[in-house]
Amino acid sequence: TLIWSMVSYAIPIVNIVYRVDDRPITKLVQTGMRPWVDGIADNDLAHHFDGEAIEDYTSNFVSTAMVLGAA
């Protein structure tokens, strides 16, 4: 018999995440929290997780952290 439990793979729910950004708050309210637009958008999530960037490409993902000090 195969018993499989989703509980063992559960990820805790996070209610608040932090993002540090030096853009003016008015800009963020107008456009939302978008990724930086420097170069060609890189849609590869593995590159984003690794922190590796292809030359002239920018991650198309916005990073957040559960702890303010890590943002």
The pLDDT score that the predictor gives to residue 66 is: 86
Specify the 3-state DSSP secondary structure of 59.
Answer: strand
Predicted local confidence at residue 10, as pLDDT: 67
* Residues 34-69: tens digit of each pLDDT: 887 777 888 888 888 887 778 888 888 888 888 888
DSSP class of residue 54? Answer: -
Domain boundaries, the chain: 7-70
Residue 42 CB coordination number (10 Å): 18
How far is it, in rounded angstroms, from Cα 71 to Cα 5?
Answer: 33
